[in-house]
Structure 1
Amino acid sequence: MSIFSGTISSLEKGLDFSATKQKTIAQNIANVDTPNYKAKSVSFNEFLSSAKQSTISANRTQAKHIDFETKSSTAGVFNYSNYSYNHNGNGVDMDKEQANLATNQIYYNALIDRMSGKLNTLQTVVRGGS
């Protein structure tokens, strides 16, 4: 049995999703007045499936170098291509973006609280229960 039992890894994936969603919402809000800009969104299912496929491997020049992979930060992001909210072709609905921002902040805070609780529990175990 693993000491972490996959919970911390799952919370990490959730935090990655929340950070990507935050960046996407911020980009939409920043481009609210840009003509023909199409709003972007992040799908959790697409984020998880594309995160598995979007790794970039490092080039190793010697066998002693450590192999590592980096995940792409734009996994699961898609455009609303046929949606136009404003007369200038812009697809950003500011009310919807602000609601998404508030929802994402609540989700992020819940994940951080759970991660903090999990790490505090592990810290208590390491200290011997005191």
Structure 2
Amino acid sequence: MKIFSNTISILDQALDYSTTKQKVISQNIANVDTPNYKAQEVLPFKTVLKNELKNTKHLSAQITNNKHIPFSPSENGTVTIVKNNIQYNESGNSVDVDQEMTKLAENQIYYNALIDRISGKFQTLQSVIKGGK
């Protein structure tokens, strides 16, 4: 039996995505002066899958041995990639701090909107439990 609606589950997944993105962006900013550090980016799993399907005609995975790793997305449906083909300075670092700060601000707005929405859902549940009082 599900206690919460699909909306709350989707909001939970979106919060996981936003949290992962926040960690990766913060790591990029923290390593802005680290030589040869390659910036990372978080992509939703569906974007990665779409790109892979464009490059292949058929995507399948078969487990033929019990030691094989199951073929499935990460828990929160995201994939972190490393940007290897970009270099912004002579030290080999690929972090553009202005771009990362913009991503950080966008992600913060997204996160705050999700928090407001899930808070509203819980307030509605609380009101229903109290009988509308």
Q: Quick check: TM above 0.5?
A: yes
CA distance in 1, matches of 2:72, 2:109: 28
Name structure 1 gaps, 5 residues minimum: 56-70
Task: Give the number of aligned pairs.
Answer: 111
CA distance in 2, matches of 1:48, 1:42: 10
SS in 1 for 2:104: helix
Structure 1 residues 129 and 3: CA distance shift in structure 2, 3 A: farther
Determine whether 1:129 maps to 2:132: yes
SS in 2 for 1:53: coil
Structure 1 residues 46 and 79: CA distance shift in structure 2, 3 A: farther
Contact kept, 8 Å, 2:45 with 2:77, in 1: the verdict is no
Structure 1 residues 43 and 31: CA distance shift in structure 2, 3 A: same
Per-residue deviation, 1:3: 6.5
Of structures 1 and 2, the one scoring higher in RCO (CA 8 A, sep 6+) is 2
Per-residue deviation, 1:87: 1.2
The structure 1 segments of at least 4 consecutive aligned residues displaced by more than 3 Å after TM superposition are: 45-49
- Deviations, residues 6-36 of structure 1 (Å, cap 9, x unaligned): 0010000000000000000010011101111
TM-score (norm. length: structure 2): 0.75
Partner of 1:62: none
TM-score (norm. length: structure 1): 0.76
Partner of 1:58: none
Identity %: 54
Name structure 2 gaps, 5 residues minimum: 50-70
